[in-house]
Structure 1
C-alpha cells in the first residue's frame, strides 16, 4: 500500500518505522500477557504520532487498539494488532 509522506520526513521515516517495529514486539508481548494497560498506552502513543508521519490508517487502528484495550476486549485487541501488522508490512512510503 502506497502512502504519501512529506518529503521533509524522508531522513527520519526509516527510524520511525523501526520504532514501530519495536512497538509491535511490545504489543505482541503485552497481548500474550493480557497486559491491557500497556496495549492502551502504546495505542495512545501511536494514535498521537502516526498522523504526523502521514500514516492516518495506522493512527485510526491505534485509536481502536487504545479503546479495545481500555475495555479489556482481548479479541478486538488481537484483531486490531493483526491489522496493524499487515499495514506496516505492506506500507510503501512515497515521499512528496
Structure 2
C-alpha cells in the first residue's frame, strides 16, 4: 500500500518561517492527542480552530491542513463521536508528518 504524497506549494518569501511553523505543529500533536484521549471537546474545537487559522495565515499552500482543522473544529463543536474525531486527528498527524514543502516564486 503506497502512501499519498502530500505536497504544499508555499511562497518563497515564507521560507524562513515554515520550518518553525511545521515544528510547532508537530509539538502541538501531543496536546491534541491528549484532548482526544480525555474527550475534551472544547480543547479539540480550539485546536481545530487554531489549525484552520494558522495554516491558511501562514500560506495558502496549506489549504489541506486548514481543511482538516476546520473538520476537527466542526466535529468537536457538534460533539461527534471521538472515533470520528480520531480519524481527523490521524489525518492531521499524517499531514504534518509527511508534508513536502515546495517553495515557489
Same fold (TM over 0.5): yes
Stretches of structure 2 that go unaligned for 5 or more consecutive residues are 1-5
Q: Which runs of 4+ in 1 moved over 2 A?
A: none
Does 2:74 align with 1:67?
yes
Note the C-alpha offset of 1:66. Answer: 0.2
> How far, CA to CA, are the matches of 1:56 and 1:2 in structure 2?
11
Q: Which has the larger radius of gyration?
A: 2
- 2-structure distance, mates of 1:95, 1:5: 5
Match of 1:88 in 2: 96
Q: TM-score when scaled to structure 2?
A: 0.86
Partner of 1:19: 24
Residues 16-44 of structure 1 deviation map (CA, whole Å, 9 limit, x = unaligned): 01111122111001000101100100100
Query: 1:75 Cα deviation (Å)?
Result: 1.7
In structure 1, list runs of 5 or more residues that go unmatched: none
> Is the partner of 1:31 in helix, strand or coil?
helix
TM-score by length of 1: 0.94
- CA deviation after TM superposition for structure 1 residue 46, in Å: 1.1
In the alignment, what sits opposite 2:15? 10
Q: Structure 2: how far apart are the matches of 1:43 and 1:26? A: 12
